[in-house]
Amino acid sequence: MQTIEGGICAVPGVRAAGVRQGKYGVALIAASGPAAGMFTTNKVRAAPLDVTAEHLQAFGHLDGVIANSGCANAYTGPRGLEDARKMTGLMAGFLGTDQKKVAVASTGVIGRYMDMALIGRLFDEAKTRLRCDPDASAEAAKAVMTTDTRLKEIAVEHKGIHVGGIVKGAGMIEPNVATMLCFLYTDADLTAILLKECLKDAVKDSFNMLTVDGDMSTNDTVLLTSTGKVKCKVDDFYEALRYVCIELARKMARDGEGASKYFETVVIGAKTEQDARLAAKAVANSSLVKTAVFGADPNWGRIICAVGYSGAAMDPEKISLGLEGMDGLEVSLVKRGRIVDGVLDKAKEIMKCDTIFVKIDLGLGDAKARSFGCDLTREYVNINADYTT
């Protein structure tokens, strides 16, 4: 697996562009081929998701994507659906394709109508910039950022297959899927059905194991499109796709709103994979664990507590717990249900690291899982206390 430059434009034939004006931005991506998508499970689902899901069901094929930041177009009723369709119409007209071969995605404030005049102006500017260039991928990613503080993109080449992705998301992140817009591209020659199967499995181990604040968005969207230029084995493609999705999930956790530290919870020895996932997510979701990470407090009892209420099968007498920081610094806190004495000072040093691994062995089986999270800081409160103002 080789990481390469260029984001989605590392995939030959993918063109992108993006422009911003204040809080509003428009991103355009053009590439033709079979496609698949996954969306929020929130019952309040934004209009663009309904339109995109309808389009994917009709053809299983995309020629382009149009996305905006600044307005979620969620809880906007018939007008919201009309605006989402207008956006796909703009892109379809520009590309000379069927409107149902264009996807639309939005992110921003819920319960406000789109400024379609502004969207139109930004679209007109963006379409003149559409190109296959590494800078274009970054431009598109930046155009849909909201409270994000950094660009999040990645591309890999694996056995001749290219997979690239860009993602936005920093807050209201609690899968399924996560508060995010993610656009993935590949040149693997696979059908829409196979793309959907691979995407579903990759998302399960990446974005669905990511949490920043426990809130689920109305707009979560992950889209995967293939140009179909490279013959390949499904397993080889899946390996590359899974890697890209996990790395993007890590980037999102590191850029969680107000986050100062990243932590990954690795659970092994679970009776079932579901148990491992439940335990890992409970630790990542715990506000008490998050604040302990922020304060560099080695209060490991909060971790044990989270595992206990997670719903995972566990035996307090069999659990082992440790921490790992940078440069190989690690410590065992609990071994097979027994507290390890004299290690809190070392644990505190690890908790000061900006990257921390929480390692849990449930001692009940062979299943494993990992989750991706960040600390909970005062800055998170500041960001979200006046988000609409």
Q: Which of 314, 318, 315, 349 is nearest to 331 (CA)?
A: 349
What is the spatial distance between Cα 332 and Cα 315, in angstroms, rounded to a whole number?
18
What span, in angstroms and rounded, lies between the C-alpha atoms of 226 and 188?
A: 6
Beta-strand relationship, 181-188 and 338-339: unpaired
**What burial letters (b/e) apply to 336-364, b meaning 16+ CB within 10 Å?**
eeeebeebeebbeebbebeebbbbbbbbb
CA distance 210 to 204: 10
Burial class (CB in 10 A: 0-12, 13-18, 19+), 77: exposed
Look up residue 131 and give its DSSP letter: B
Question: Which of 88, 147, 179, 377 is the catalytic position?
Answer: 179
For the question of residue 179 being annotated catalytic, the response is yes
Residue whose C-alpha is closest to residue 130's, from 140, 120, 115: 140
* Residue 303 amino acid letter: I
Catalytic residues: 179
